[in-house]
Amino acid sequence: MKKTSARHKSRRLALQALYQWQLAKNTMPEISKQFREDKFFASIDQEYFNDLVTNVIKTHTELDPQFIPLLDRDSKELDPIELTILRMGTYELSKRVDIPYRVVINEAIELAKLFGAQDSHKYINGVLDQLAQTLRQAEMSATQDSNHD
Protein backbone atom coordinates (compact mmCIF):
# COMPACT_ATOMS: atom_id res chain seq x y z
CA MET A 1 0.00 0.00 0.00
CA LYS A 2 1.25 3.47 -0.78
CA LYS A 3 2.47 5.55 2.13
CA THR A 4 0.21 8.47 1.17
CA SER A 5 -2.89 6.30 1.23
CA ALA A 6 -1.95 4.87 4.62
CA ARG A 7 -1.27 8.39 5.93
CA HIS A 8 -4.58 9.65 4.56
CA LYS A 9 -6.38 6.85 6.40
CA SER A 10 -4.35 7.67 9.53
CA ARG A 11 -5.51 11.27 9.44
CA ARG A 12 -9.09 10.18 8.96
CA LEU A 13 -9.00 7.87 12.00
CA ALA A 14 -7.02 10.43 13.99
CA LEU A 15 -9.75 13.00 13.30
CA GLN A 16 -12.34 10.58 14.65
CA ALA A 17 -10.20 9.78 17.70
CA LEU A 18 -9.51 13.45 18.47
CA TYR A 19 -13.16 14.34 17.97
CA GLN A 20 -14.06 11.66 20.48
CA TRP A 21 -11.41 12.92 22.91
CA GLN A 22 -12.73 16.46 22.56
CA LEU A 23 -16.39 15.56 23.13
CA ALA A 24 -16.27 12.56 25.44
CA LYS A 25 -13.01 13.46 27.22
CA ASN A 26 -11.80 9.86 26.87
CA THR A 27 -8.17 9.28 27.79
CA MET A 28 -5.50 8.47 25.23
CA PRO A 29 -5.25 4.81 26.38
CA GLU A 30 -9.05 4.40 26.05
CA ILE A 31 -9.07 5.95 22.60
CA SER A 32 -6.04 3.98 21.47
CA LYS A 33 -7.56 0.69 22.60
CA GLN A 34 -10.84 1.40 20.83
CA PHE A 35 -9.19 2.39 17.55
CA ARG A 36 -6.79 -0.56 17.56
CA GLU A 37 -9.90 -2.75 17.47
CA ASP A 38 -11.18 -0.94 14.35
CA LYS A 39 -11.09 -3.19 11.29
CA PHE A 40 -9.31 -0.47 9.26
CA PHE A 41 -6.52 0.03 11.80
CA ALA A 42 -4.25 -2.53 10.15
CA SER A 43 -4.35 -0.59 6.86
CA ILE A 44 -3.23 2.76 8.26
CA ASP A 45 0.16 4.23 9.12
CA GLN A 46 -0.19 3.37 12.80
CA GLU A 47 2.92 5.28 13.83
CA TYR A 48 1.56 8.43 12.21
CA PHE A 49 -1.88 7.93 13.79
CA ASN A 50 -0.25 7.66 17.22
CA ASP A 51 1.92 10.72 16.57
CA LEU A 52 -1.06 12.84 15.53
CA VAL A 53 -3.41 11.77 18.30
CA THR A 54 -0.85 11.80 21.10
CA ASN A 55 0.73 15.11 20.18
CA VAL A 56 -2.42 17.02 19.29
CA ILE A 57 -3.85 16.05 22.69
CA LYS A 58 -0.59 16.85 24.46
CA THR A 59 0.00 20.21 22.74
CA HIS A 60 -3.49 21.52 21.95
CA THR A 61 -3.03 24.41 24.39
CA GLU A 62 0.06 25.45 22.36
CA LEU A 63 -1.61 24.83 18.99
CA ASP A 64 -4.81 26.80 19.55
CA PRO A 65 -3.12 30.22 20.04
CA GLN A 66 -1.39 29.79 16.68
CA PHE A 67 -4.61 29.69 14.65
CA ILE A 68 -7.12 31.49 16.91
CA PRO A 69 -5.93 34.99 15.82
CA LEU A 70 -6.73 34.00 12.22
CA LEU A 71 -10.37 33.12 12.95
CA ASP A 72 -13.26 35.41 12.08
CA ARG A 73 -15.22 34.23 15.12
CA ASP A 74 -14.67 33.12 18.69
CA SER A 75 -13.05 29.69 18.82
CA LYS A 76 -15.96 28.48 20.99
CA GLU A 77 -18.20 29.00 17.96
CA LEU A 78 -16.19 26.60 15.80
CA ASP A 79 -17.79 23.32 14.90
CA PRO A 80 -15.99 20.54 16.85
CA ILE A 81 -14.88 18.95 13.55
CA GLU A 82 -13.45 22.27 12.32
CA LEU A 83 -11.61 22.76 15.61
CA THR A 84 -10.15 19.27 15.44
CA ILE A 85 -9.05 19.68 11.81
CA LEU A 86 -7.45 23.05 12.60
CA ARG A 87 -5.56 21.51 15.51
CA MET A 88 -4.34 18.64 13.35
CA GLY A 89 -3.32 20.99 10.53
CA THR A 90 -1.59 23.36 12.92
CA TYR A 91 0.32 20.47 14.48
CA GLU A 92 1.44 19.21 11.09
CA LEU A 93 2.42 22.69 9.85
CA SER A 94 4.37 23.52 13.01
CA LYS A 95 5.89 20.19 14.02
CA ARG A 96 5.94 17.95 10.94
CA VAL A 97 8.00 20.00 8.53
CA ASP A 98 8.84 16.75 6.71
CA ILE A 99 5.34 16.97 5.21
CA PRO A 100 4.92 19.66 2.53
CA TYR A 101 2.56 22.44 3.56
CA ARG A 102 0.41 21.85 0.47
CA VAL A 103 -0.14 18.23 1.52
CA VAL A 104 -1.11 19.32 5.05
CA ILE A 105 -3.63 21.86 3.75
CA ASN A 106 -5.03 19.54 1.09
CA GLU A 107 -5.53 16.72 3.59
CA ALA A 108 -7.30 19.12 5.98
CA ILE A 109 -9.57 20.29 3.17
CA GLU A 110 -10.43 16.69 2.25
CA LEU A 111 -11.27 15.86 5.89
CA ALA A 112 -13.48 18.95 6.11
CA LYS A 113 -15.29 17.95 2.92
CA LEU A 114 -15.91 14.47 4.33
CA PHE A 115 -16.83 15.29 7.91
CA GLY A 116 -17.37 19.04 8.22
CA ALA A 117 -20.32 21.29 7.62
CA GLN A 118 -21.06 22.54 4.14
CA ASP A 119 -18.30 24.87 2.92
CA SER A 120 -16.21 24.34 6.06
CA HIS A 121 -13.41 23.17 3.78
CA LYS A 122 -13.15 26.72 2.42
CA TYR A 123 -12.82 28.10 5.95
CA ILE A 124 -10.20 25.49 6.90
CA ASN A 125 -8.29 26.28 3.71
CA GLY A 126 -8.26 30.00 4.45
CA VAL A 127 -7.08 29.64 8.05
CA LEU A 128 -4.39 27.03 7.35
CA ASP A 129 -3.15 28.92 4.28
CA GLN A 130 -2.64 32.04 6.42
CA LEU A 131 -0.94 29.97 9.10
CA ALA A 132 1.38 28.34 6.55
CA GLN A 133 2.49 31.81 5.44
CA THR A 134 3.90 32.29 8.93
CA LEU A 135 5.01 28.77 9.88
CA ARG A 136 6.28 27.68 6.46
CA GLN A 137 7.38 30.99 4.99
CA ALA A 138 10.67 29.65 3.59
CA GLU A 139 8.98 26.62 2.06
CA MET A 140 6.26 28.74 0.47
CA SER A 141 8.82 31.17 -0.95
CA ALA A 142 10.86 28.33 -2.42
CA THR A 143 7.73 26.87 -4.02
CA GLN A 144 6.73 30.23 -5.47
CA ASP A 145 10.26 30.82 -6.79
CA SER A 146 10.33 27.43 -8.50
CA ASN A 147 6.93 28.13 -10.10
CA HIS A 148 8.35 31.30 -11.70
CA ASP A 149 11.28 29.48 -13.34
Each residue's pLDDT tens digit, 27-41: 777 887 888 787 778
State the CB neighbour count (10 A cutoff) for residue 109.
21
Each residue's pLDDT tens digit, 6-32: 898 999 999 999 998 988 887 777 887
Q: Give the Cα-Cα-Cα angle 83, 68, 114 (nearest 5 degrees).
A: 25
Contacts 24+ apart (CB under 8 A), 80-83: 80/19, 80/22, 80/23, 81/15, 81/19, 81/112, 81/115, 81/116, 81/117, 81/120, 82/112, 82/116, 82/117, 82/120, 82/123, 82/124, 83/22
Domains of the chain: 3-137 (1.10.940.10)
Residue % of the chain over a pLDDT of 70: 93
Query: What local confidence, expressed as pLDDT, does residue 83 receive?
Result: 96
pTM attached to this predicted model: 0.90
